[in-house]
Each structure stands twice: as C-alpha cells, then as structure tokens.
C-alpha cells in the first residue's frame, strides 16, 4: 500500500473519531496540535486502525505514537 493511501485512510478515520474536518489531519499533524486528539480519542483511533489495516500495536508503545507520521511508519512496517 502506498503512503498516500495510508495517510488518506488515517485522515478519514481520525477526522470521524475526533469530529474535525479531514484537512485538519495531515502527515505532519501532532497530537498536541489537535485538542480533540485526547487520550480516549487516541485509543479509539488505534483500535480502528488495527481493524482497518489488520495490524497490532504493542500495548506499551501505544501511548508513544504522538503524530500521524509515527502511525504511518508503524503501519508501513507491519503491512509491507
């Protein structure tokens, strides 16, 4: 899967969960820039990403993914 497809899917899912406009979510977006990306939202996002991309994020690492880029990197690592 190309990077752009992964980013677009994350954009779609994250904007739905955080209830923000899709363009708010970019590759460069960080958790601290998006107030709606709180700790519960973060878990819901991770849960949905696991279902959509058929990947598993390790429990101890989950709190450390603080940007879209970190998520993309981990997803790419697992699916390619």
Partner 1 sequence: MAGYNQFMFELLNPQSALHTQAPQAAFFHLDGDELLNVSLDDGTIKWEKGMVNDFLTQVALYARSTPATTIILSGIVLSPFTILTHLNHNSGISVPRIQETVNRKIEKTAREHANIHYFDFPAIVTHYGLESLVDDKFWYLGRIKYTNTAYVQLARHLKSLVDAIHGKTRKVLVLDLDNTLWGGVIGEDDLQGIQLSEEGIGKVYRDFQQHIKDLKSIGVLLAICSKNNEADAMEVIEKHPMMVLHDSDFVAKTINWNNKADNIRRISKELELGLDSFVFIDDNPVERELVRQNLPDVMVPEFPKEIEKLNKWFISDVVYPFFPKVILTNEDNVKTDQYKRNIQRKAFEITLDLNEYIRSLNIKLNISLNDKSQIARISQLTQKTNQFNLTTRRYTEGEIGQFMDDSSKRVYAVDYSDKFGKEGIIAVVIIDILSKDAIHIDTFLMSCRVIGRNVELSILESIIGSLSKETPLKTIQADYIITAKNSLAKDFYTKCGFEASGSRVLAKETLLSNLSTLQHG
Q: Are 79 and 55 in contact (CB under 8 A)?
A: yes
Question: Can residue 79 be called a binding residue for partner 1 (CB under 8 A)?
Answer: no
Q: Is 3 in the site for partner 1 (CB under 8 A)?
A: no
How many residues of this chain interact with partner 1, rule: CB under 8 A? 11
| Residue 34 or 52 having the CB closest to partner 1 | 52
Contacting residues toward partner 1, per CB under 8 A = 39-40, 43-44, 46-48, 51, 59, 62-63
């Amino acid at each position: 899967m190309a990077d752009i497809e992964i980013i677009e899917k994350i954009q779609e899912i994250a904007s739905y969960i955080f209830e923000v406009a899709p363009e708010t979510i970019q590759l460069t977006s960080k958790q601290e820039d998006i107030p709606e990306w709180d700790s519960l939202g973060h878990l819901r996002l991770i849960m949905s990403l696991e279902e959509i991309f058929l990947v598993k994020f390790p429990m101890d690492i989950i709190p450390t993914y603080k940007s879209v880029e970190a998520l993309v990197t981990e997803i790419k690592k697992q699916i390619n």
